Structure 1
């Protein structure tokens, strides 16, 4: 049976103002505050996951994801222009759910299902990681919180707990995503920016950016079979792959220059 909790994330009065990011700042979601809130939520979520036996810290899947992340962090830090240092952390949740996200400040959450169900290579893991890292580095959650607050959608974020398929800790991880502004779809523009930034980031870290295309081809095939939850917040379609192909030469130049 599904449960529902409502968590108040932004305590602010909605007023008319232009500029989503500036509104987020005024609503108490400035970069430092948002990162601190994400860190608190991440700590709570990982504690609950550990207590429920759903926090993966030792499997081969965890080791592969963590290895990719550690390799990419130095290059992600070079790209950080937020004015706030990121404390990158990883939580891997034991679940068949095909999903991953990063909360503000570099709190990365992967579900084992995205690696195992899609049979991802390390380079494809890097494509997911780079995409999510770019969302954090460009503070897309902050922009989206501002946009949602302007229409009154983000003052109280309700999250319906999923069923037994992902468990309570898995649901808590999903709730953290909603709480810090990554629970709803990004705009097409922000997704495109994350795709491009992810290509460049994985290339800088020495992962072949061609794997980003094979990743989304796998996503599209699964989408046709019913669709993973990842696609509810990360639209996947042929246009997206076409755009990646257009950007691939620039990413390949970065990749080849490292070799």
Structure 2
């Protein structure tokens, strides 16, 4: 059934309102690695940080209840010591990050994982440390990468992109008279053409900023290369590149090799002053 003109006009008005609400921001300065892409945001940073703080507290409470929070004192001290050298370097990319309420904790889990929520809420899993037999330099590369996601507000950006895409697809489906199947097809098309490539771009930005944070903190940036070599051996068969939210290991290692070399003078300078 064709939409009545008044409904079409209302949908178009909503679409225009959504576009007006979109904010173009420069979340970070470029640094030596030159990450200077502007980002479009539909969701406020305050919303993201408030939600992240709530979710982080829930994760910690659950882990503590199961006896999985900071269980190994030596591991916890090691992770926090690395964070204490990386966090002061965040001011190079965004001075306001120095005032974030940073939190760093270690969770006992077999997963080879780490993450940093918006606002500086960090978690490192023991599986990452133990399975990779990770060095301090390699751990700094991981933590620098995760901190970079928070600095660039990638979570906010992805949430904004998804909200905008869902809205546009819903409006388009209504205007064109598409059913649920057509709308779902449009969502798949969005993920293949825009969503996944954007996510891969975010990973590359985090890799590049991460090696600079590590170098400025006095950690060898080339360890990011050995880290991903270890990860490639640990992981199973990778999905086809166009279906993956992350760059392939080969692409990632090649890019990190270039950018680790670019920030090596920062590392050498820091070594001399420590």
Structure 2 residue aligned with 1:88, among 102, 108, 121?
102
Deviation for aligned residue 1:48: 1.6
Q: Does structure 1 residue 30 correspond to structure 2 residue 44?
A: yes
* 1:23-60 deviation digits (Å, cap 9, x = unpaired): 9854xx31122112111111121112101111125432
Q: Does structure 1 residue 141 correspond to structure 2 residue 155?
A: yes
**2:97 & 2:210 partners in 1: Cα distance?**
20
- Structure 1 portions without partners, runs of 5+: 1-12, 154-183
SS of the equivalent of 2:166 reads coil
Larger helix proportion of the pair: 2
Structure 2 residue aligned with 1:243, among 235, 251, 255?
255
Report the equivalent of 1:115. 129
**2:158 & 2:95 partners in 1: Cα distance?**
18
Report the equivalent of 1:72. 86
Deviation for aligned residue 1:203: 0.2
Deviation for aligned residue 1:82: 5.9
Alignment TM-score, normalising by the size of structure 2: 0.68
Does the 8 A contact of 2:90 with 2:97 survive in 1? no
**Which structure ranks higher in relative contact order (CA pairs < 8 Å, sequence separation ≥ 6)?**
1
Runs of 4+ off more than 4 Å: 13-16, 18-26, 81-84, 232-236
Deviation for aligned residue 1:225: 7.1
Report the equivalent of 1:152. 166
Q: Does structure 1 residue 202 correspond to structure 2 residue 214?
A: yes
**2:136 & 2:165 partners in 1: Cα distance?**
40
Does the 8 A contact of 2:89 with 2:216 survive in 1? yes
Task: Count matched residues.
Answer: 211
RMSD, aligned CA: 2.9
Does the 8 A contact of 1:140 with 1:190 survive in 2? yes
**2:198 & 2:128 partners in 1: Cα distance?**
19
Alignment TM-score, normalising by the size of structure 1: 0.72
- Structure 2 portions without partners, runs of 5+: 1-13, 26-38, 168-195
Structure 2 residue aligned with 1:49, among 44, 54, 63?
63
**1:54 & 1:233 partners in 2: Cα distance?**
29
Change over 3 Å in CA distance of 1:248–1:84 after alignment to 2:
closer
* 1:89-135 deviation digits (Å, cap 9, x = unpaired): 01211111111111000001111101110110001000001001111
Q: Does structure 1 residue 132 correspond to structure 2 residue 146?
A: yes
SS of the equivalent of 1:17 reads helix
Structure 1 residue aligned with 2:264, among 239, 252, 258?
252
